[in-house]
Amino acid sequence: MDGEGDSSTVGGDKLARAIRKFRFDPDIKAIVLRVNSPGGSALASEVIRSELESTQKAKPVVVSMGTVAASGGYWISTVANRVFAEPGTITGSIGVFGLFPNVQKLANENGVFWNPIETSPYSDLFTISRPKTDAELGVLQRTIDHIYDDFLKHVSDARHLPVDGVKEIAQGRVWSGSQAIKLHLVDEMGGLQAAISYAGTSAKLGDNPKIAEYPVKKDLNEKLKELFKGSERPPVSKLDPINQELKALEAELHTLTHLNDPQGIYALLPIGIDWK
């Protein structure tokens, strides 16, 4: 997500601050970034990537890909000195899209109407109160194309591939880790420990360097406090269709709250998004 994120997401600003702190900490000799993400906000991805790029000039940055490292997850991986993936890692998905909600019909049906006053032709470009005009869609498409070109260039520069070659394996397509290594999108098959060993060797710390984890893992006490904090909603009966619908709506709204890119542009595997 753009900004600080929450308990289930990574905030671009928050992670970038942490990386910057590690860059200037003389006791930290290398960074291993564990990526397990389908992506998200294009801006947040670039904020993280940019900070990692500065850090990589000062000390080794190694990426270890988990189950999925796609779209924004791959975007932030492009600056690593070495990228490790598992054979079954879902990676790639080099592509972006725009998502611009329009609630006019829903609002009008519930008695809510707008009477906007515009100061320029595009002053309410990001309004959710009406559909976009063709001219507005043209502006947004040019922005999306520009960000996609940036993504292609990041991959081209990092992986030493021609841009035209990257285009052939991009367009939002996903690859397994085994395929990705043949396409030169990752460097080596291996898990987190292999990445840590490589980072330790690169920083001349040996194969078993001392590790400091971020974020700090919570102990059992803290996890139990979080688990029992507040009141839990009782289980929804399969025979209670109203609550079932409310629960489904709540889940969709929770997903939408994470889509907070200020330009409405995402490098994201569209998993869990119900297109209508």
Which residue did the predictor score with more confidence, 194 or 119?
194
- Name the amino acid, one letter, at 232: E
How far is 153 from 157, CA to CA, in rounded Å? Answer: 6
Residue 225 maps to a domain: no
Residue 171 maps to a domain: yes
Which residue did the predictor score with more confidence, 207 or 164?
164
Residue 274 maps to a domain: no
Determine phi and psi for 247, rounding to 5 degrees: -65, -40
Tell me the pTM: 0.82
Model pLDDT for residues 35-57, shown as the tens digit of each residue: 999 999 999 999 999 999 999 99
Write the CATH number for 207.
Answer: 3.90.226.10
Task: Answer yes or no: are the C-beta atoms of 38 and 75 closer than 8 Å.
Answer: no
Q: Please give the full DSSP string across the chain, using - where no structure is assigned.
A: --TT--TTS--HHHHHHHHHHHHH-TT---EEEEEEE-EEEHHHHHHHHHHHHHHHTTS-EEEEEEEEEETHHHHTTTT-SEEEE-TT-EEE----EE-----HHHHHHTT-------SSTTTTTT-SSSPPPHHHHHHHHHHHHHHHHHHHHHHHHHHT--HHHHHHH-TT-EEEHHHHHHTTS-SEE--HHHHHHHHHHHTTS-SS-----SSPPPPHHHHHHHHTSSPPPPPPPTT-HHHHHHHHHHHHHHHHHT---TT-EEEE--TT----
Domain, as residue range, for 145: 12-220+234-268
Provide the mean pLDDT of the chain.
87
Pair of tokens at residue 13: 């600003």
Residue 226 maps to a domain: no
Model pLDDT for residues 125-179, shown as the tens digit of each residue: 888 889 999 999 999 999 999 999 999 999 999 999 999 999 999 999 999 999 9
Model pLDDT for residues 45-102, shown as the tens digit of each residue: 999 999 999 999 999 999 999 999 999 999 999 999 999 999 999 999 999 999 888 8
Residue 60 maps to a domain: yes
Residue 6 maps to a domain: no
Q: In the chain, how many domains are there? A: 1
Which residue did the predictor score with more confidence, 63 or 233?
63
Residue 67 maps to a domain: yes
